[in-house]
Amino acid sequence: MSSTPRFLTRPPLIFLSIVLALALFAPAPFAVIAPGPATNLLGNTVSISSGASATVLPTKGKLFSTSVLVNNPNSRLPGIWVLLAWAKGSQAVVPWSALYPPGESAKKSKEVSDKEMATSQQKAAIAAANFLKALNPSQPLGWKPEDIKIAMHNVGGPSAGLAFALTLIAKLKSPELIAGRNIAVTGEISENGSVGRIGGIDQKMIGARAAGAQIFILPRQTCQDITRRPKGLKLIAVSTLGQAVHALANPRIADSLHC
């Protein structure tokens, strides 16, 4: 006499196997956010037009912009990959609709991301210029925001704005801010220097630590989104460009701005 439960006799068992296979290998309505590369902006990323009197200064240390890797609208992952990403822990799984509007194509997504990147660079240049002018109104900068060009490849979105602004201040005025340290930065920025919330903070911190960063500057509003803190990474939470600059210049201020 068979001991197989009646509800698992052959026809239902085959049906259950088919359903399970479809669930594991069919495209899932989720996106996976993974740690992305960290880019050292103190390399050859900043250039200034020949009409400006300012020069790009040598700076010791590294200032990283951070990023995440996300599957694009044309590459929905099968369910098994989503499950593996969720189990791995270093990656985040979010509903597809949280990242992409219905019907958005990979081309359209890239266009939006590239535009956000270009806008963030413009805002960063204006914010850096405004900050330096406020520090010393009588001293000319020697450059205008439109003189600045920042070369970034294969990265989009608005979240590198704060990193761009700090890079410009270090490279065009105060290289001593970096002081040989490895610093990672994330956060949107406005023209008045306010710093806005970003997504993917856990994955950005993982990528920053893997690149060798010891300090991570992030938006104050994003502290509540952190679920894991890489060892050896000091967090500095800021609301403005001014706070970020002063934290890099003064360890006591940095210690008071912990997450």
Render pLDDT for 190-221 as a digit per residue (tens, 0 to 9): 999 999 999 999 999 999 999 999 999 999 99
Count other C-beta atoms under 10 Å from residue 237's C-beta: 21
Q: Which runs of E-coded beta strand occur in 61-213? A: 62-65, 68-70, 92-95, 148-150, 182-185, 188-189, 195-196
> What's the rounded mean pLDDT across residues 135-151?
90
Cα atoms in the Cβ-side hemisphere of radius 13 Å centred on 94:
14
CATH class for domain 34-69+105-256?
alpha beta
pLDDT digits (tens, 9 = 90+) for 63-105: 999 999 888 877 777 777 777 877 777 888 888 888 888 878 8
According to the model, what pLDDT value does residue 23 have? 59
For the chain, the farthest-separated pair of C-alpha atoms sits apart, in whole angstroms, at: 97
- Residue 9 pLDDT greater than 90, yes or no: no
CB 81 within 8 A of CB 25: no
The per-residue pLDDT for 35 is 94
Average pLDDT for the chain: 87
| Helix, strand, coil percent values for the chain (each to nearest 5) | 45, 20, 40
Give the start-to-end residue ranges of the domains of the chain.
Answer: 34-69+105-256
pLDDT recorded at residue 5: 57
- Which range of 37-41, 132-136, 237-241 scores highest in mean pLDDT? It is 237-241
pLDDT higher than 60, residue 3: no
